[in-house]
Amino acid sequence: MNNPSEDQQQEIPQIRIYIAGKQHIHYVQEILDVIEESSKARGTGIARRSPEYVSQKMLEGKAIIALCGDDFAGFCYIESWSNKTYVVNSGLIVKPKYRGFGLAKRIKRFSFVYSRKLFPHAKLFGITSGAAVLKINNELGYRPVTFEQLTDDPAFWRGCQTCVNYDVLTRTDFKRCVCTAMLYDPEEHPDEVLEELDKI
């Protein structure tokens, strides 16, 4: 009888994570395609972004990309709201063939630390319906909160208009939806030392 652990063993791909720049703009359409396909496969809502928007994030140094050689592997970008007092890591995605290696957690951690470096006093938050992202956020120190504890910046909530669940959000007067809201408040972690800041 074969040993299942041996049958399932896979070689871990050599993937590196970078702060995206103009040299990565040619990956934008593939990134958006993978996000769209993942959303359809899971049957969940997602706030869609245009190629121009994602490209601008790269040019601003507010996007994270993971590559296996020259092959796109994963992505995430950073947005700030309410005069930079709230920050969110959005669009976290891993290309299907690179899933199962802990890459989403690596990208999220990198993005979290980088966001803390860019906006040291901002509260980090996220709204997601993905169990994996909820687990990662919890490990990073995020806690579940009500929607009222998030940014009241209308520009953020307009980003939800392309989600299939937007009607739920509007019916509840933006107080609840299918997504779970999570918040990381740096004032609740005064003794936290992020050694990774010096590596980015």
Instruction: Please tell me the total count of domains within the chain.
Output: 1
Q: 193 is in which domain, residue-wise?
A: 4-199
- Give the separation between CA 45 and CA 128, rounded to whole angstroms: 9
Half-sphere exposure (Cβ direction) of 68: Cα atoms closer than 13 Å: 15
- Give the separation between CA 145 and CA 49, rounded to whole angstroms: 25
How would DSSP label each residue in 32-88? HHHHHHHHHHHT-------HHHHHHHHHTT-EEEEEETTEEEEEEEEEEETTTTEEE
User: Per residue in 71-88, pLDDT tens?
Assistant: 999 999 999 999 999 999
Quick check: pTM over 0.95?
Answer: no
- Give the separation between CA 200 and CA 187, rounded to whole angstroms: 22
The helices-and-strands tally (H runs, E runs) of the chain is: 7, 7
pLDDT for 9 equals 46
Give the CATH number of the domain where residue 48 resides.
Answer: 3.40.630.30
pLDDT for 198 equals 60
- Give the separation between CA 107 and CA 193, rounded to whole angstroms: 19
pLDDT for 200 equals 62
Q: Residue 124 corresponds to which tokens in the numbers above?
A: 């980090």
Would you write out the chain's pLDDT as a tens digit for each of its 200 residues? Answer: 444 344 434 577 899 999 999 999 999 999 999 998 887 776 655 667 899 999 999 999 999 999 999 999 999 999 999 999 999 999 899 999 999 999 999 999 999 999 999 999 999 999 988 888 899 999 999 999 999 999 988 888 888 887 888 899 999 998 889 899 999 999 998 777 666 656 66
